[in-house]
């Protein structure tokens, strides 16, 4: 009986060893699964984009952000639900200040002119709501390390519209998203569908 117990114990240990060896061999030779590559849909084009319907509410902030496929600029206005924010966004050879016609230098391979029907002042009280100064970088906006954005310039707030110059790396596709309390401008990192 004792021999039978010893033989059974040896068989159990040998089988367990084979299972571990087989599992280790399977794990070592199985190919690693790859995560699917992120694709960027940037079929937005680079032509002028406009919507002139607006409710003329004051601009209160401009902020930016970096994303996987694009760099983003957001223009925030006072209040929400009061109607759309009119805009015109297009590439220009040079940026000229509304009212004076003075040229404003903007660094980068291309210049995107952003016009928003959102003055930097309250139309009723004429108090300043956004502290931008003509020809100066946008206050509080730091685009260091951005892949597409190279420069920002406040041009003017004239007759109810605010004009901004956005220097970008090259003439790249962009889109405009119109919301009730903000205007969003995304500029793609490239023309293709890759990163």
Alpha helices in the chain (DSSP H): 2-29
CA distances from 61 to 28, 73, 74, 109, 131 (A): 55, 11, 8, 26, 9
- What CA–CA distance (Å, rounded) separates 101 from 91? 17
Q: What angle do CA 175, 105, 188 make, to 5 degrees?
A: 20
**Residues belonging to the chain:** 195
48: left (phi over 0), alpha (psi -120 to 50) or beta: beta
Q: What is residue 193's predicted lDDT score, i.e. its pLDDT? A: 58
The Cα–Cα gap between 169 and 113 comes to 14
Rounded Cα–Cα distance for residues 178 and 186 (Å): 12
Mean pLDDT, the chain, integer: 83
**What's the count of helices (H) and strands (E) in the chain, helices before strands?**
1, 11
Distance from the first to the final alpha carbon of the chain: 71
pTM of the model: 0.78
pLDDT digits (tens, 9 = 90+) for 64-76: 999 999 999 999 9
Residues 89-144 have pLDDT tens digits of 999 999 999 888 999 999 999 999 999 999 999 988 989 999 999 999 999 999 99
- pLDDT of res. 34: 52
């Amino acid at each position: 009986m004792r021999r039978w117990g010893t033989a059974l114990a040896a068989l159990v240990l040998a089988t367990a060893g084979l299972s571990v060896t087989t599992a280790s061999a399977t794990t070592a030779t199985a190919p690693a699964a790859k995560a699917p590559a992120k694709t960027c849909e940037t079929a937005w084009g680079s032509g002028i984009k406009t919507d002139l319907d607006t409710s003329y509410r004051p601009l209160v902030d401009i902020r930016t952000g970096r994303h996987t496929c694009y760099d983003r600029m957001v223009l925030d206005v006072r209040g929400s639900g009061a109607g759309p924010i009119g805009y015109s966004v297009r590439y220009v050879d040079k940026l000229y200040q509304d009212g004076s016609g003075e040229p404003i230098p903007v660094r980068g391979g291309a210049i995107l002119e952003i016009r928003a029907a959102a003055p930097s002042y309250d139309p009723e009280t004429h108090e300043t709501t956004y502290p931008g100064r003509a020809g100066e970088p946008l206050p509080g906006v730091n685009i260091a390390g951005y892949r597409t954005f190279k420069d920002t310039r406040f041009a003017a707030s004239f007759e109810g519209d605010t004009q901004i110059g956005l220097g970008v790396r090259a003439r790249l596709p962009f889109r405009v998203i119109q919301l009730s309390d903000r205007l969003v401008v995304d500029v793609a990192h490239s023309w293709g569908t890759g990163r």
